Structure 1
């Protein structure tokens, strides 16, 4: 069983920043509570407030897939669905 690591940046428009911020804390809390979540960090860039950085570690591909499924049906998924993602996924 390999851990899944995801890092990268989600970019929104200036008009979308408040929407992202309005659901971010709930998304972090729910993600950290998921079975198999070993680390979940999400933060807004201080210099470029339209960029949000992600660093995630899940115990397995199955745990990561469950996280992805939950996220797609959440407020976070709905609000960020069409935003630009520059993510890198790796296994360890």
Structure 2
């Protein structure tokens, strides 16, 4: 049986940005990506605009464990990214997986 601390955390989904906030979100995104990739325990972090749905940004994240993921969530909530995206609808699914 795999212990909880041995499980990676994966987040997949999207954020739907209204047209009037697109430029603000686009401007804030590079710094949010840079800060997230620099976090201890971040394995990958990708955000890209959908080619199919206007204003939709596809999000994919992976962290070494729950503690790293939780630390990311806390950092993000105290960041400029949070201020820029507050109230924007998100549709994310979080899954737990083994290191193997």
The normalised TM-score by structure 2 is: 0.88
SS at 2:70 equivalent: helix
Segments of structure 2 that go 5 or more residues without pairing to the other structure are 1-5
Segments of structure 1 that go 5 or more residues without pairing to the other structure are none
> Cα deviations across residues 34-73 of structure 1 (Å, max 9, x unaligned)?
0000010011112323101100000000000000000011
- Root-mean-square deviation (Å): 0.8
Aligned residues: 92
The normalised TM-score by structure 1 is: 0.96
Instruction: List, as ranges, runs of 4+ consecutive aligned residues in structure 1 with deviation greater than 4 Å.
Output: none
Q: Which has the larger radius of gyration?
A: 2
Aligned to 1:34: 39
Aligned to 1:76: 81
